Chain A
Amino acid sequence: MTTPLQVTARLRDPVTTADHIRGPADASVTIVEYGDFQCQFCGAAYPNLHEVLRQRADTVRLVYRYFPIANVHPYAERAAETAEAAAVRGRFWEMHDWLYEHQDQLDPVHLSLGVEQVGLPPDELNAEVESRAHADRVRRDFVGGIRSGVNGTPTLFVNGVRHEGGYDLPDLLAAVDGASNA
Chain B
Amino acid sequence: MSDPNGLIQPGRPAPGFTLPATPDGGLVGPEQFRGRPVVLAFYPADWSPVCGDQMSLYQSAAPVFAQYKAVVLGVSVDSIWSHRAFAESRGIEFPLLADFEPKGAVARRYGAYNAQGEADRALVVLDPTGKVTWSYRSPPDVNPGADGIFDALDQLAADRKVMAG
Contacts and interface: CB of A to CB of B under 8 A. Distances in A.
B125 to A, nearest CB: 10
Given A7-B147, A71-B92, A151 B56 contact: no
B150 A72 contact: no
SS of A interface (majority): loop
Interface of B: 9-10, 52-54, 56-57, 59-61, 63-64, 90-93, 133-136, 138, 143-148, 150, 152, 155
Nearest to B136: A3
Interface of A: 1-4, 7-8, 68-72, 139, 142-143, 146-152
B147 A8 contact: yes
A3 B122 CA distance: 12
Given A1-B133, A3-B135, A151 B145 contact: yes
Contacts of A142: 60-61
21 contacts: A1-B10, A1-B134, A1-B152, A3-B9, A3-B136, A7-B138, A7-B148, A71-B56, A71-B60, A71-B90, A71-B91, A71-B92, A71-B93, A72-B52, A142-B60, A142-B61, A147-B150, A148-B147, A150-B145, A151-B145, A152-B53
